[in-house]
Amino acid sequence: MLMTAEELADLIRFRAGNTPVEFGLILGSGLGHLADAVEGEAIGYSELAGFPQPGVSGHNPKLVVGDLLGHRVAIFGARAHYYEHGNAAEMRVPLETLKALGAKRLLLTNAAGSLRDDLPPGELMLITDHINFAGTNPLIGEATDKRFVPLGDAYDAGMRDGLGAAARDEGIALSKGTYAWLSGPSFETPAEIRAIRMLGADAVGMSTVPEVILARFFGLEVAAISAITNMGEGLSDEKLSHEHTKQNAVAGAEKLERVIRRYLGDG
């Protein structure tokens, strides 16, 4: 049975309590440990009709709602990707539910390939803008004029400043850059990487952009950080694989967790 976002929010409040959520967090491949630090209720996506039932290993399909460093948070331990079923709007119901729970802000993380020599694996990149190279959009089919979402300020200036300050305070380098969304699930060819780099992207990945577009549609403030797991195909000799991504996410995950904790703790 399909449930509306309001009904899902009621169910979540019944389980986790009525305190309005402030922040949503969507954690990428191998980056989900923060959810374990939350004092609260974990609800499997399988209990939430309309939430995606993710199949990518390294993702943890539960929503954790509770308290983290003085903030009420909802952590999505898994995201659905466009490449799973060809539906760019798979995260629409979760994000609408987040909005219905009272959230104002969404922080996203992902694993990404780097297109820049000064941004090697293990580094973090604060996304300041994106390029949608996937040839689709999660708002296709939305019937109202709300679909014409402006994206000039998609990545919130205040959140970016806060995350930048948090990284500085932790002594962690946080580069800034443009993230290119490609559909996947195959990795890119060396020629694609050269082309994307020439067109102004700094990192490449298979997620985040549809969620950013949906979150802006629902009026959430958004910030996103990439943990660089590899150089883009052809820029180094490493062999790319999902295993490789997950293994290399560990270095970035530790830094990412420190930046997010400092950001929440100071906010």
Question: Minimal distance in Å, beta carbon 263 to ligand HPA?
Answer: 23
Contact between 204 and ligand HPA by CB under 6 A: the answer reads yes
71 catalytic per annotation: no
Q: In the chain, what's the furthest Cα-to-Cα distance?
A: 51
Contact between 232 and ligand HPA by CB under 6 A: the answer reads yes
What is the enclosing helix (H) or strand (E) of 113?
Answer: strand 105-114
Q: Is residue 74 a contact partner of residue 25, using CB atoms and an 8 Å limit?
A: yes
Contact positions with ligand HPA (CB under 6 A) in 107-146: 111-113
Tokens of 14: 């019944």
Q: 109-125 b/e with 16+ CB inside 10 Å = b?
A: bbbbbbbbeebebbbbb
Q: Residue 24: left (phi > 0), alpha (psi -120 to 50), or beta?
A: beta
Q: Which residue is nearest to ligand HPA (CB)?
A: 113
Contact between 58 and ligand HPA by CB under 6 A: the answer reads no
Q: Among 92-100, 116-124, 166-174, 199-207, which window interacts with ligand HPA (CB under 6 A)?
A: 199-207
For β-strands 23-26 and 39-44, DSSP reports them as unpaired
Question: Minimal distance in Å, beta carbon 145 to ligand HPA?
Answer: 33
Q: Which of 42, 242, 251, 254 is catalytic?
A: 242
242 catalytic per annotation: yes
In whole angstroms, what is the distance from residue 135 CA to residue 201 CA? Answer: 16
Contact positions with ligand HPA (CB under 6 A) in 26-55: none
230 catalytic per annotation: yes
In whole angstroms, what is the distance from residue 109 CA to residue 123 CA? Answer: 13
254 catalytic per annotation: no
| Contact characters 144-183, ligand HPA, x per CB under 6 A | ----------------------------------------
29 catalytic per annotation: yes
Contact between 24 and ligand HPA by CB under 6 A: the answer reads no
Number of Cβ within 10 Å of residue 218's Cβ equals: 18
| Rounded (5°) CA angle 191-196-201 | 150
Contact between 188 and ligand HPA by CB under 6 A: the answer reads yes
57 catalytic per annotation: no
In whole angstroms, what is the distance from residue 70 CA to residue 135 CA? Answer: 40
Contact between 206 and ligand HPA by CB under 6 A: the answer reads yes
Name the residues annotated as catalytic.
29, 59, 81, 83-84, 111, 206-207, 230, 242
In the complex, the residues that contact ligand HPA under the rule CB under 6 A are 111-113, 187-188, 204-206, 229-230, 232, 240, 245
